Amino acid sequence: MEKPAHNNANKTGKTNNANKTGQTNNANKTSQTKTTKTAPGTGLNTKTSTKPKPNTNTTTTPKPSKNLIILIVTAVVTIIVIAIVLIVATNQPSSDSIPIGDQGQAKIVKTEVSQIQYETYDNGLVSFEHPASWKVEVAPVDYIHYTFKAYNPENPTYMFLFGMKMEGALKSERARQVYASYYPDAPFSKIAAIDPQTTEAFYKIWNQNSDYNNSSLGTNFFSHLNNFKVVDNLGKDMMGGDILRATYTDVNGKPAEGLFTAAVKSVGTYYISENIWNPFGPQVDVSPLNIYNIMIMSAPEAEFINWQKPLDHCLSTIQFSNAFIAGFNQEEDTLLKTIQANQKVYDQISDMIMDSWNKRNNSYDIISQKQSDATLGYERVYDTETGEIYKAYNGFTDDYTGNRYQPITDNMYTETISGYIEK
């Protein structure tokens, strides 16, 4: 009997074709397979086992590009820098605060005047610029006596007033008494006399004449200037009136200060006997006076030095329209010629006032401002970087440990402050 013949492949139990590795070619998958093959000429089945091998066709992960890496690094660095800036900014005092050692920070509060904005008033007759929050009133009078004012409705002591003309005052109390004796209802007998005929004397009797004018006009347009006291005479305006710096007490009893001017003019002389039954007796001049260019700039006493320029701005921007001049033409000649000669005549008056103000004696300012600071509990310092002057709470220079804010010198008391330093 013949022995069965075996294929060489059966010696190893492996196939000679592509299945030697136990892999399928279509999907490149690794698998464990069992194949049954009949050996030629034997009729016997042989089992062939193949062990799985690692897949040599695995996908390789692509490396990130150089540009992408640079972009990511840049973004991370930017975020870190922003975070550092925010942290530093959070820990730094703001521009309106000042470190004061262990006691924390003091804050800067800007003054109203340092942030002032203007708006234009124009009623078709007169126009001028005034602080935006202020109110404007016009007295109910004719062209000759045209008078208007702008003021802070929350504190009317902050005020600019301008009047073309007032009249009716006599030159002496003797003349007024003569009128009062024979014509008791005449305006001349009720209006206080201006004696001597000066700007200061006019404002000394301001209250009496204001009461008369308010009563006659049915208004409260004219407010009182109590305890009027001249501090300095700064010279003449272009109409010949004195430019006075003066203090007074307002209607609430608080001290106030301002610049005042008015030109008191005599229109001639007219003598009559004090006793009409005795024409050869003592004579008195009863010719009335005219007062032109009445101007008031005022503020609370400690604040006027800061508000002088904004108040002067009201004056410098006054312009009368052609309609006003046409209406004025038939009523008055003296002022008309001045207005027609230069529509911006009040800008010139403003320049004269500013020039006089700048040349004033500063000793009063220094003394009064020091007294005000002592009363209100302030000490003044200035910013060495900006030159701005501040009123600081009393004791600030003891608390402050830096070098930027230093005590002011005496001549700096004449300058406008920019704000307050408060705890």
DSSP string of 283-321, one letter each residue: EEE---EEEEEEEEEEEETTTHHHHHHHHHHHHHT-EE-
Q: Which residues pair with 255 in a beta bridge?
A: 249
pLDDT over 70 percentage in the chain: 75
Instruction: Categorize the per-residue pLDDT at 336 as very low, low, confident or very high, splitting at 50, 70 and 90.
Output: low
Q: At what angle do helices 345-358 and 304-316 cross, to 10 degrees?
A: 160
Q: Which is more confidently placed, 146 or 49? A: 146
Of the candidates 106, 110, 111, 128, the one whose C-alpha atom is nearest the C-alpha of residue 119 is: 128
What lies within 8 Å, CB to CB, of 225 at 6+ separation is 203, 206, 207, 248
For residue 94, the model assigns a pLDDT of 44
Residue 229 near residue 248 (C-beta atoms within 8 A): yes
What's the pTM value of the predicted model, to 2 decimals?
Answer: 0.68
For residue 60, the model assigns a pLDDT of 52
Backbone angles phi and psi of 87, in degrees to 5: -65, -45
How far is the CA of 26 from the CAs of 23, 71, 118, 152, 304, in angstroms?
9, 42, 89, 96, 101
Q: What is the mean pLDDT of the chain?
A: 79
Read off the tokens for 45: 């089945």
Taking the CA atoms of 348, 349, 350 and 354 in sequence, report the sign of the dihedral they define: positive
For residue 113, the model assigns a pLDDT of 86
Residue 263 near residue 198 (C-beta atoms within 8 A): no
State the average pLDDT over residues 80-100.
Answer: 60
For residue 73, the model assigns a pLDDT of 72
Angle, alpha carbons 161-164-169 (nearest 5°):
100
Q: At what angle do helices 334-341 and 345-358 cross, to 10 degrees?
A: 90
Q: How many CB atoms lie within 10 A of CB 215?
A: 10
Of the candidates 179, 187, 201, the one whose C-alpha atom is nearest the C-alpha of residue 270 is: 179
Taking the CA atoms of 313, 316, 321 and 327 in sequence, report the sign of the dihedral they define: positive
Q: What is the pLDDT of residues 347-405, one digit of tens each?
A: 666 777 777 777 777 887 888 888 888 888 889 999 999 999 998 888 888 888 888 89
Residue 390, Cβ density class (10 Å: 0-12 exposed, 13-18 middle, ≥19 buried): buried
- CA–CA separation, 81 vs 87, rounded Å? 10
What lies within 8 Å, CB to CB, of 397 at 6+ separation is 379, 381, 405, 407
Q: Which residues pair with 17 in a beta bridge?
A: none
State the average pLDDT over residues 5-31.
Answer: 40
Residue 151 near residue 159 (C-beta atoms within 8 A): yes
- CA–CA separation, 268 vs 178, rounded Å? 18
Q: Which is more confidently placed, 152 or 102? A: 152
For the chain, the structural domain boundaries read 8-49, 65-94, 95-124+361-423, 142-360
Q: Which is more confidently placed, 260 or 48? A: 260
Residue 259 near residue 275 (C-beta atoms within 8 A): no
